[in-house]
């Protein structure tokens, strides 16, 4: 399966967004109420794949505030956040940013993968979602959830359903099940109505929990 490259520039409106909004509002009564609440807000992409993945690793299992502090410190020692700069900084400087030993190892492994071209960034636009995920999860510290966030925020893929994301599950629970617990099969059933725009529906459910999008 070949993925069209015309998805919209990073920071701009994804090319499918307006059509997705119209389709979701037509098919889904919850989306019909939810989407208009956020006006012209839309998903904003992150252009650089290495930075996107490094930022995801820094943010794992910590609050957004803690992650932001660590990320700013990392940018002080690696202003361009390139693989070469990260490798040159080394484990001691990375740890001094507030990163755990494990996260330090993960970011160095990520940098090594990019520096030695063990990931095929130039081909990702032409690979389907599962093929990109399979390549990413071979990097230490990157699981399926991180890979799916990459598909959403870097490659701007329109039909990602991150079932391991607590925000998605909470958003479905609050908006579709009056706050009752939601299983993965429940989430899949609800999301069947969103295809091929599950990313867009997910984004609006995130906004229903937190109206301010995380950059």
Q: Which tens digit of pLDDT belongs to each residue from 64-95?
A: 788 889 999 999 999 999 999 999 999 999 99
- pLDDT at 12 > cutoff 80: no
Over range 15-44, report the average pLDDT: 96
| pLDDT for the residue 205 | 96
- pLDDT at 2 > cutoff 50: no
Please give the Cα distance from 24 to 7 (Å, whole number).
18
**Mean pLDDT rounded to a whole number for the chain:** 91
| Res. 110 pLDDT band, cuts 50 70 90 | very high
| Res. 177 pLDDT band, cuts 50 70 90 | very high
Residue keyed to tokens 């109420």? 33
- Long-range contacts, stretch 206-209, CB < 8 angstroms, 24+ apart: 206/167, 206/168, 206/171, 207/34, 207/37, 207/38, 207/41, 208/34, 208/171, 208/174, 208/175, 209/167, 209/170, 209/171, 209/174
| pLDDT for the residue 64 | 74
Q: Work out the number of other CB atoms within 10 angstroms of the CB of residue 64.
A: 10
| Res. 99 pLDDT band, cuts 50 70 90 | very high
């Amino acid at each position: 399966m070949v993925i069209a490259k015309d998805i919209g520039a990073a920071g701009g409106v994804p090319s499918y967004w307006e059509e997705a909004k119209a389709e979701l509002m037509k098919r889904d009564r919850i989306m019909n109420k939810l989407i208009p609440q956020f006006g012209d807000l839309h998903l904003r992409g992150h252009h650089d794949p290495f930075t996107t993945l490094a930022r995801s690793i820094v943010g794992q299992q910590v609050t957004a505030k803690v992650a932001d502090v660590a990320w700013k410190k990392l940018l002080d020692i690696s202003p361009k956040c390139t693989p070469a700069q990260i490798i040159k900084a080394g484990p001691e400087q990375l740890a001094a940013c507030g990163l755990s030993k494990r996260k330090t190892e993960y970011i160095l492994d990520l940098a090594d993968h990019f520096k030695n071209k063990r990931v095929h960034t130039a081909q990702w636009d032409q690979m389907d979602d599962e093929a990109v995920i399979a390549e990413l999860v071979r990097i230490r510290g990157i699981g399926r959830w991180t890979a799916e966030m990459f598909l959403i925020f870097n490659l701007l893929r329109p039909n990602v359903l991150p079932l391991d994301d607590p925000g998605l599950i909470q958003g479905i629970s609050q908006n579709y099940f009056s706050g009752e617990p939601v299983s993965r099969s429940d989430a899949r059933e609800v999301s069947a109505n969103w295809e091929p725009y599950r990313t867009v529906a997910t984004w609006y459910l995130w906004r229903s929990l937190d109206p301010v999008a995380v950059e």
